[in-house]
Structure 1
Amino acid sequence: MTEHLYNKYVQHMTLEEKIAQLLQLAAPFYDEPGDDSEITGPMEELGIDSNTKRAAGSVLGIAGAEKMMAVQKEHLAGNRLGIPLLFMADIVHGFKTIFPIPLAIGCSWDLKLAEQSAEIAAREAAVSGLHVTFAPMVDLVRDARWGRVMESTGEDTYLNAEFGKAFVQGFQGDNLKDDKSRVAACVKHFAAYGLAEGGRDYNTVDLSERQLREYYLPAYKAAIDAGAEMVMTSFNIVNGIPATANQRLMRGLLRDEWGFDGVVISDWAAIKEVIAHGAAEDDKEAAFKAIHSGVDIDMMTTSYVNHLPELVAEGLVDEAMIDEAVLRILKLKEKLGLFENPMRGADPELEQQIVFCQEHRQVSQRLAEKSSVLLKNENVLPLQADQRVALIGPFADSGDILGWWSWTGSKETAVKLGESMQKVSGDPGNVVIAKGCGIDTLSESDLAEALDAASAAEVIVLALGEASDMSGEGGSRSDIRLPEAQLELVREMKKLGKPLAVVLFNGRPLDLHGIFDVADAVLEAWFPGSEGGAALADILYGKVNPSGRLSMSFPYSVGQIPVYYNAYSTGRPKPEEETDNRYISQYIDIPNEPLLPFGFGLSYTTFAYADFSLSSDTMTATRPLEAKVTVTNTGSQAGTETVQLYIRDMSGETVRPVKELKDFRQVQLSPGESREVVFHIEESQLCYHHSDLSYTSDPGRFTVYVGASSRDTQSAMFRLV
């Protein structure tokens, strides 16, 4: 394929045309059709001419079949060799049908449903003219201050890797050329973007290579092994070098060690930002470093276009290096079938039929149901249909429930919580809706309306949270409590002495003081997507039994952050029992543990674990173990339990975490039903990166934990010999 593309295209291209293939322009460059004889607007601001635009290789942010087809048609008419554009966009958790944010999807622990959501997103995007999505994001996240935790599936390496594979499979399917309802996946952000210091977006990252390989790289590797066609560089530094100019990371690890031969794209303007990092003196040096690092596409700067010709002329960049980048881009276009059909997938009539269709919306609702996590419940939920309920709060009647990265979605068509609760209750008069307060404002009139609504109610439900722009890219927060206006509303409602339930809409784990300690029930909805209101109403009224489990810990206080379940014990660990010993690793004013741990979630039923056993107390590389436990639904409703298996290496060559998730099973059980859950433990699950970066296991003692969360477990021990 590569030789064919070289012979047909690359050897006939001028150097300027090759370099233009490495340029990605945003949608505004294509807003006005025509010959671009008058250079104005974005083209003038970026400093490119019409010839460069006509030879550009890709565009981002255009959506809609008719628009895409018009742009592609005009582009082909002006492109000397007839090389089609690649159309890319951030289709992160849905196109028009918006699914819950990825952090919420992680809380479903449902890989098949996650894959289906990506498949639907791809179907809607492809019919609307897109070829590539900038997803999945598989960055490991441990700091809830960082706004982009909403775009990850959580704090665990193994779980992130499993979801990364599922998303790639959903987006791409098995054959991009034959299946025009799929899009190419671009895994991001390579690498370790989620470790930004202080949780501040775009900030410095500093970690050892062992830590990088042990915790941060595996999810990227899993997504690439699943076939992801593209990789996006991260904004941060890795080992002191910006990722976009990091030759050791991009060529040495990604391409040479892992064998990735797909397209590498910079994040928005990241090549130029190498200058701001202090790793390049000017645009020319930034372009030199990026091309040598193997970055194929320059997103929204002219670093390559303006300086690669000069660098080639000076002998500082071998033109063969540019040829390699061009060939990778053309190879992706070939895989997508664009040379045979430049309008691949785009179909205005079919677009009207399938985008935001009822079938897709039903899947969005099902995923919202499975992603919601019941955090607390003191006999308040589920609500009864004949109960008089006051639904109060800024999200009671709000369509702002889609979350960040839902730019093609519609808040106007999002199913609201209030109207859904009125529908499910069977009598709209049983659910009285009042605003109560804004996101961060509390007026006397709004509070008076809320008090009036609550006075006649048997149960108060507060719909609270963050506005969607309080998380996402650029949405870092130092104070992750709810705004004071909402906390004051909670205090005023509590004074009424009535059962109080809170539904939370947010893009990150919050500091729940003023909520968790006051409310009788707390349901974490996250940003649940297009059908969020319907899903939540069904949960609140018991038509759906919540089954979500946290994929990221909720801190007791922001002062603990980063806080995560798979930490090291330290040389002076805090014992479980109370102690007067000051000289241990602890805070003297708050607990060490998070308020709510990884894997936690309640149900409207209860589950009991019994008869946990290992098939042997020793294992070898050729003789794995079985871990068995019997799980029983001891409540009165059918429910789904997520049975989690963790392992601890009790003595490693380097210190090992107190627990690591290694496997999980979801079981659906009727009231009184029992089921034996069996896990297979193999020697490969005991391997880790040693101090010399070798990836092996150590003989010795291991503890196996099985339970309902990282905190609530039973344990047994074995020895690897």
Structure 2
Amino acid sequence: MKYKLLRLTCVVALLFSIHMQGQLKKDAQKQMDTYVSSLLKNMTLEEKLGQLNLVTPIARTGPFATKNASDKMKDGSAGNIFGLHGSPSSIHMRLALSENSRLKIPLLSGLDIVHGFKTVFPIPLGLSCSWDPALIEKTARIAAVEASALGYNWTFSPMVDITRDPRWGRVMEGSGEDPYLGSLIARAMVKGYQGSDLNDDTSLIACVKHFALYGAPEAGRDYNTADMSRLTMYQYYLPPYKAAVDAGAGSIMVSFNDIEGIPATSNKWLLTDLLRKEWGFKGFVVSDFNGIQELMNHGVAADLKEAAELSLTAGVDMDMVSEALIASLKQSVKDGHVSMDQINAACRRVLEAKYKLGLFTNPYRNYDPAKADLVSLTEENRKVAKDATLRSIVLLKNDKATLPLKKNAKIALIGPFANNQNEMFSSWTLKGDVPSVVTIYEGLKKQNPDITYVQGTQVSGDPGLKLKGEPFDAALQEELVAAAMNVAKQADVIVVVLGESSAMSGEARSRTDLSLPNCQSELLKRLKSIGKPVVLLLVNGRPMTLADDLPYADAVLDIWRPGTEAGSAVADILFGAYNPTGKLTMTFPRSVGQIPIYYNTKNTGRPYTEGTEGFFSSYIDQSNTPLYPFGYGLSYTKFIYGAITLNASVLKGNNANLTASITITNSGSYAGEETVQLYIADPVASVSRAVKELKGFQKVFLQPGESKKVNFTITTEELKFFNSDLNWDWESGTFLVYIGGNSQSCEKAEFVWKK
């Protein structure tokens, strides 16, 4: 009886708590509505348009900077700014310019904080290879704490675009090709940036980008059109954006591309019907850099005034840099082309964001000139950075157990990125602290003094590569290679660090050739000819075509662009203090001709099976299979997968659960962690389905010789898909479940589920 009373008391207390939380939210919403409504009534049309205007004093991330940005912040015609640089006090002085305006409305201060602030983590594509959303959330939280201390309250991140084409340079900013994993990471990053309460002085408003389909440009060329069916949009490309919205993201950035012939910046279906009405998004929408003006280039607007009208009507609330809204909408109201209700709605959403951040109470809520140094690059932050780098690195090849290296081995360290602090960052580390970077040379030297470093090669000798920098010098190249050969001959093992420079991936960095630059590839071949073990460390921002280079390396580690703790993490992996755990989140093609290439493809009417010939969907000069599939990543140990067992073979109804179990055994001599991946296939459905889709994963750590049983619970939620009516539902049928260490190497079982 006492137990029943206690249980009843707990239930009542829980219900009361839920009720009170709901009431508090209603009260807070009412207070915000009252405040913002009062402010709007007191604002002139010009002041309202100023809140829709986002300016920048620099042109680093776009074609031009704002003229007279400081004056516009003073008079209220620029209500928001991004790209401020300098000390905390200098940034504060710029933000304080708004106090000269009539209403003294505080500014949103944004920046592209993509993979860290002062403490820099691996690029997002690398981070995603950790398959660790909790860790990724922690990196975003650290970035928010460091950035907010310098005066920023808004980050243009996360980029959640699904990417299947590594020719596109911005694949480095996303989480790869899978919507399930991409959605988990999108949610984690929003939570990390925004924290539990935007009013907290360490929170940043997240800006989810680029809405939508920006990661699918034709030919992999940046800013290009993206063309696909709505079924493909809903099934594969939209889920990460939706996950970020559901996580409470405060803002959305519109993409540059068109969708079904209408640019995203003027696409009412996208920004109003889908985003606000279907998904219930409550935050504000900002254009990308000059996106509104570029509606004229798209051919849908005759002039800047029409471009402004189209974008506002579609659902854009803020104009990044083109200043089309503030220049045109006053006349548009007079002409009756837009209404004051539309302008008020957009202005309200911007003001609500500032209210939620607490800026009306304290415009400089986190300003303290000394605080930035106290919270940045702390010991704990660097520890997280190292952990993130360790978990992001993917072991692609390890013939004859070349790795780990012996700590007393005599090492020749060669390559243009091996002792270069800047090259451990990307083009998006605008505030990263370069002097704090542990280079690969420094990291290895700390653990093994018997190491000699030489540059070995220039980065690229390709005259067609449009990059700023020193021109290729053939005579210098010969000197560099000769020095490398001399050092390599004296060593027990050669560690060569090759790949892309930071200028070769990122925005406006699309490429048609994804192989190692010729001068680097030739160096690798020369080094291999010596007869010593060669370890290739790949520094890159995208999957590369490595098929021609793999024969010249005994082991390959993809370290991406690893960030602040690059050398510390790489050394731990090379010398065996950490067993690699990273798994690829983008497929590596054998050649550019295979692109786009991704694991969750559909079968055709003539599916190809390796080894067959004839009239099938295949190439006549190359295999269909990738070089490395989605989910791939080796370990210093070996994991053996047993057969899948199911607790039932036939299930019925929405409320049933299926348990799929598999036993994993560590048959090697090193302790290690494996990411066990669950895929499901629906071979017969009302629309063609993917050959398999990721639906879950678990990490399991095993000592040598240890076995563990891993259980996955499958519900009808994992069976659902978007049908031809774009309804999210499941259908009765026979299903296949796959469990394995990557998308290609899996155990398989079959079950039937009926409605």
With normalisation by structure 1, the TM-score equals 0.95
Partner of 2:693: 660
SS at match of 1:312: helix
| In 2, Cα distance between equivalents of 1:214 and 1:93 | 27
Partner of 2:615: 583
Deviation track 1:244-300 (CA, whole Å, cap 9, x = no partner) reads 100111011101111111010001010011110111111011001000011011000
AA of the residue aligned to 2:738: Y
Q: How does 1:4-83 map to 2 (within 5 A)?
A: 4-28=34-58, 44=67, 50=72, 54-63=76-85, 64-76=87-99, 78-83=100-105
SS at match of 2:424: coil
AA of the residue aligned to 1:275: M
| Pairwise CA distance, 1:361 | 1.2
| In 2, Cα distance between equivalents of 1:104 and 1:176 | 28
* Pair 1:192-2:234 in alignment: no
* Pair 1:542-2:564 in alignment: no
Deviation track 1:421-474 (CA, whole Å, cap 9, x = no partner) reads 11112xx2x211111101115611111110110011111111001000100001
AA of the residue aligned to 2:678: L
Equivalent of residue 226 in structure 2, options 205, 219, 232:
205
| Pairwise CA distance, 1:410 | 3.3
Partner of 2:373: 352
Deviation track 1:565-608 (CA, whole Å, cap 9, x = no partner) reads 000110111114x22x3200000101101100000000111111
* Pair 1:261-2:270 in alignment: no
Distance 1:452 1:247, change over 3 A: same
AA of the residue aligned to 1:17: E
Q: How does 1:305-454 map to 2 (within 5 A)?
A: 305-378=326-399, 379-399=401-421, 400-425=423-448, 428=449, 430-441=450-461, 443-454=477-488
* Pair 1:570-2:590 in alignment: no
SS at match of 2:498: strand
| Pairwise CA distance, 1:613 | 0.7
SS at match of 1:332: helix
**Residues 257 and 263, structure 2, Cα contact 8 Å, conserved in 1:** yes
**Residues 73 and 98, structure 2, Cα contact 8 Å, conserved in 1:** no
SS at match of 1:112: helix
Distance 1:640 1:436, change over 3 A: same
Distance 1:377 1:267, change over 3 A: same
| Pairwise CA distance, 1:404 | 2.5
**Residues 209 and 254, structure 2, Cα contact 8 Å, conserved in 1:** yes
SS at match of 1:628: strand
| In 1, Cα distance between equivalents of 2:317 and 2:73 | 20
Bigger shift: residues 567-576 or 95-104: 567-576
SS at match of 2:353: helix
Deviation track 1:125-174 (CA, whole Å, cap 9, x = no partner) reads 11111111111111000000000000011000100000001111111111
**Residues 393 and 557, structure 2, Cα contact 8 Å, conserved in 1:** yes
AA of the residue aligned to 2:459: I
SS at match of 2:49: helix
AA of the residue aligned to 1:347: D
**Residues 231 and 262, structure 1, Cα contact 8 Å, conserved in 2:** yes
Partner of 1:630: 663
AA of the residue aligned to 2:38: K
Gaps of 5+ in 2: 1-30, 462-473
| Pairwise CA distance, 1:685 | 1.1
SS at match of 1:640: strand
Q: How does 1:503-518 map to 2 (within 5 A)?
A: 503-518=537-552
| In 2, Cα distance between equivalents of 1:604 and 1:61 | 44
**Residues 309 and 338, structure 2, Cα contact 8 Å, conserved in 1:** yes
**Residues 607 and 631, structure 1, Cα contact 8 Å, conserved in 2:** yes
* Pair 1:235-2:259 in alignment: no
**Residues 643 and 747, structure 2, Cα contact 8 Å, conserved in 1:** no
**Residues 490 and 514, structure 1, Cα contact 8 Å, conserved in 2:** no
Aligned residues: 702
| In 1, Cα distance between equivalents of 2:656 and 2:204 | 41
Equivalent of residue 478 in structure 1, options 503, 512, 524:
512
**Residues 131 and 183, structure 1, Cα contact 8 Å, conserved in 2:** yes
| In 2, Cα distance between equivalents of 1:83 and 1:712 | 58
| Pairwise CA distance, 1:419 | 1.6
**Residues 43 and 49, structure 1, Cα contact 8 Å, conserved in 2:** no
| In 2, Cα distance between equivalents of 1:510 and 1:325 | 43
**Residues 74 and 97, structure 2, Cα contact 8 Å, conserved in 1:** no
SS at match of 1:461: strand
| Pairwise CA distance, 1:331 | 0.5
**Residues 65 and 321, structure 2, Cα contact 8 Å, conserved in 1:** no
Deviation track 1:595-624 (CA, whole Å, cap 9, x = no partner) reads 000000001111111142111112231111
Partner of 1:36: none
**Residues 631 and 676, structure 1, Cα contact 8 Å, conserved in 2:** yes
Deviation track 1:386-432 (CA, whole Å, cap 9, x = no partner) reads 1111111111211111123111113333211012111112xx2x211
AA of the residue aligned to 1:81: L
* Pair 1:674-2:707 in alignment: yes
Partner of 2:170: 148
**Residues 689 and 695, structure 1, Cα contact 8 Å, conserved in 2:** yes
Equivalent of residue 521 in structure 1, options 555, 565, 575:
555
* Pair 1:109-2:141 in alignment: no
SS at match of 1:194: coil
**Residues 587 and 597, structure 2, Cα contact 8 Å, conserved in 1:** yes
Structure 1 vs Structure 2 CA RMSD: 1.5
* Pair 1:244-2:276 in alignment: no
SS at match of 1:348: coil
- Tell me the percent identity: 45
Equivalent of residue 225 in structure 1, options 229, 236, 246:
246
SS at match of 2:293: helix
* Pair 1:651-2:684 in alignment: yes
| Pairwise CA distance, 1:514 | 3.0
**Residues 23 and 298, structure 1, Cα contact 8 Å, conserved in 2:** yes
| Pairwise CA distance, 1:229 | 0.5
**Residues 130 and 183, structure 1, Cα contact 8 Å, conserved in 2:** yes
Gaps of 5+ in 1: 30-40
Partner of 1:180: 201
Partner of 1:34: none
AA of the residue aligned to 2:187: K
**Residues 55 and 66, structure 2, Cα contact 8 Å, conserved in 1:** no
Displacement over 6 Å in runs of 4+: none
| Pairwise CA distance, 1:51 | 7.7
SS at match of 1:663: strand
| In 2, Cα distance between equivalents of 1:112 and 1:268 | 31
| In 2, Cα distance between equivalents of 1:28 and 1:92 | 18
AA of the residue aligned to 1:423: K
| In 2, Cα distance between equivalents of 1:43 and 1:508 | 32
**Residues 5 and 327, structure 1, Cα contact 8 Å, conserved in 2:** no
SS at match of 1:27: coil
AA of the residue aligned to 2:293: K
Bigger shift: residues 5-14 or 394-403: 5-14
| Pairwise CA distance, 1:49 | 6.5
Equivalent of residue 96 in structure 1, options 118, 121, 137:
118
Equivalent of residue 118 in structure 1, options 133, 140, 145:
140
SS at match of 2:737: strand
Deviation track 1:618-661 (CA, whole Å, cap 9, x = no partner) reads 22311110111111111111111000000000101110000100
| In 1, Cα distance between equivalents of 2:409 and 2:596 | 41
SS at match of 1:492: helix
SS at match of 2:294: helix
With normalisation by structure 2, the TM-score equals 0.91
| In 1, Cα distance between equivalents of 2:636 and 2:66 | 58
| In 1, Cα distance between equivalents of 2:522 and 2:109 | 47
| In 2, Cα distance between equivalents of 1:27 and 1:50 | 11
